[in-house]
């Protein structure tokens, strides 16, 4: 079910980013949110597994037109790179609050009302948000829609990959998705080894990851005054690596939740820096750039459960965690070494 959502989410990104650049980012976000709400409510009343999977596939395709497009919109509205880093952090804080509440509440609802209750609750709340978003975006200054031009689309993709940072940004988030988010569907397994079987506890542990991200997002305005983004990438990767090593020791659930807070801080410290560079890959096709960024990340996230399922079955639960620590540390070091801010064709030695 997780892969049924994340694979379509990843593969639809290039098309959605291009549509957002031409059709209008706010319009695409409204349409995507409305369709995700509809498919989620259908899931709540699904009478067979095939329909459930089909709705999650459709939701995965359309969900890519919400958050990644929102990040691209921030890039359009906030031209200054330092202010943009703060704005992205604030947007991330809001998104992570949703993740935090969703992970916690879904576990409780799952215990009380079952999986149908989870889909219905999220769908109903999403419907309220969709209505609010429709009216909120009406006053947003955006570019007028324009017809899709094949030559312009090709030029947009070329402008993205003309920047040598593209392969570093996209490759890094691909491995992030595998080793970090690919582990989430197996939190219940980690808790089972610690003697805890309730779904609500799995929700609390995953919520710890979101809590760590929120803590970092709120601290961004102060953090960037003391460290440049290269230093933040190394620090973030190191925090995540330490968390992985300690998770490999199979701690009790409350220690696991605390480690997920540290993992969240480390991940988002690294990820937002990479995301900031992704907003700079092009000035004319930013939606395309961010969609490719999301495509790489969610391709990794879709493959992650497959990797962990195989690794846990053949090597136990500790060794995959140690591999994750090594991978995320390598990602941080590579990004710190090769990602540099560019302005007017010049490379800046230091980040903000």
Q: What one-character DSSP code corresponds to residue 346?
A: E
| pLDDT at residue number 348 | 38
**Structural domain boundaries, residue 327:** 2-140+151-342
Query: Shortest CA distance to 339 belongs to which of 288, 243, 273?
Result: 273
CA 257 to chain centre: 20
- Let me know if residue 350 belongs to a domain: no
Query: Shortest CA distance to 106 belongs to which of 227, 199, 190, 181?
Result: 199
Least-confidence region, from 125-139, 227-241, 248-262, 280-294: 280-294
- Let me know if residue 351 belongs to a domain: no
- Let me know if residue 347 belongs to a domain: no
Share of the chain above pLDDT 70, in %: 90
pTM: 0.74
- Read off the pLDDT band of 244 (50, 70, 90): very high
Kindly tell me if the per-residue pLDDT of 165 is higher than 50.
yes
Kindly tell me if the per-residue pLDDT of 186 is higher than 60.
yes
| pLDDT at residue number 266 | 95
Q: How many domains does the chain have?
A: 1
| pLDDT at residue number 146 | 66
- Read off the pLDDT band of 349 (50, 70, 90): very low
Write the CATH number for 191. 1.20.1250.20
- Let me know if residue 299 belongs to a domain: yes
- Let me know if residue 116 belongs to a domain: yes
Task: Pinpoint the alpha helices (H) of the chain.
Answer: 2-23, 25-44, 49-63, 67-77, 81-136, 150-161, 165-179, 187-193, 199-226, 229-247, 253-278, 286-315, 318-338
Give CA–CA dist 316/267, Å, rounded. Answer: 24
| Backbone CA torsion sign across 218, 223, 229, 232 | negative
Kindly tell me if the per-residue pLDDT of 142 is higher than 50.
yes
- Let me know if residue 348 belongs to a domain: no
If you average pLDDT over every residue of the chain, what do you get? 83
- Let me know if residue 50 belongs to a domain: yes
Give CA–CA dist 318/295, Å, rounded. Answer: 29
Kindly tell me if the per-residue pLDDT of 352 is higher than 50.
no
- Let me know if residue 79 belongs to a domain: yes
């Amino acid at each position: 079910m997780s892969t049924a959502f994340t694979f379509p989410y990843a593969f639809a990104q290039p098309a959605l980013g291009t549509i957002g650049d031409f059709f209008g980012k706010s319009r695409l976000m409204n349409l995507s949110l409305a369709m995700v709400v509809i498919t989620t409510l259908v899931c709540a009343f699904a009478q067979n597994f095939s329909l459930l999977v089909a709705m999650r596939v459709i939701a995965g395709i359309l969900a890519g037109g919400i958050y990644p497009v929102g990040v691209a919109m921030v890039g359009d509205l906030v031209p200054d790179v330092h202010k943009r880093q703060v704005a992205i952090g604030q947007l991330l804080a809001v998104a992570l609050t949703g993740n935090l509440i969703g992970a916690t509440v879904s576990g409780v609802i799952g215990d009380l009302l079952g999986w149908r209750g989870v889909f219905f609750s999220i769908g109903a709340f999403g419907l309220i948000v969709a209505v609010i978003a429709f009216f909120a975006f009406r006053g947003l200054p955006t570019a007028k829609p324009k017809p899709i031009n094949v030559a312009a689309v090709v030029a947009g993709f070329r402008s993205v990959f003309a920047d040598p940072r593209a392969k570093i940004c996209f490759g890094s988030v691909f491995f992030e998705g595998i080793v970090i988010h690919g582990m989430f569907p197996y939190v219940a397994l980690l808790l089972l080894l610690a003697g805890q079987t309730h779904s609500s506890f799995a929700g609390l542990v995953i919520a710890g990851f979101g809590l760590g991200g929120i803590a970092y997002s709120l601290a961004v305005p102060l953090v960037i005054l003391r460290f440049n983004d290269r230093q933040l990438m190394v620090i973030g990767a190191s925090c995540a690596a330490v968390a992985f090593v300690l998770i490999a020791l199979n701690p009790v659930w409350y220690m696991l939740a605390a480690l997920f807070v540290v993992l969240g801080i480390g991940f988002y410290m690294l990820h937002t820096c990479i995301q900031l560079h992704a907003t700079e890959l092009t000035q004319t096709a930013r939606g395309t750039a961010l969609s490719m960024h999301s495509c790489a990340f969610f391709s990794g996230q879709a493959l992650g459960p497959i990797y962990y399922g195989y690794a846990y079955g053949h090597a136990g639960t500790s060794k995959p965690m140690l591999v994750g620590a090594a991978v995320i540390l390598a990602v941080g070091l590579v990004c710190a070494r090769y990602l540099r801010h560019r302005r007017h064709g010049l490379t800046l030695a230091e980040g903000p």
